[in-house]
Amino acid sequence: VPLPYLVVPTMFDRRTRASIDSLRVMRESHRGHVWHSLIPVDTLFREASKAGIPPALFAPQSRGVAAYEKLLHDLLDEGDQQAMQAGAAT
């Protein structure tokens, strides 16, 4: 039985050809299993690491933190939908 999985594109920089090409290959190779959004490169993550502080505390309004929050909410919503479907099936 194949396990469900989700590929999360990270370190994405829309200004670079490498990021754009990598995302295209991911979507082709893992059709239907690539998260619809992405985690951007965020220099504030590097600064947070240097300061020894989690990014969510160091720069809570940063693009990277917002992207990870969106990922978390999407995963929780998906889990809720699966639980409701499982409950309806019983």
pLDDT at residue 14 above 70? Answer: yes
Q: Output the CA–CA distances (angstroms, integers) from residue 24 to 39, 42, 43, in the order listed.
A: 15, 21, 24
Q: Taking the model in full, what pTM does it have?
A: 0.85
* 2: pLDDT strictly greater than 70: yes
pLDDT tens digits along 24-56:
999 999 999 999 999 999 999 999 999 999 999
pLDDT at residue 88 greater than cutoff 70 = yes
Q: How far apart are CA 36 and CA 38, in angstroms?
A: 7
Residue 78 in this model has a pLDDT that exceeds 90: no
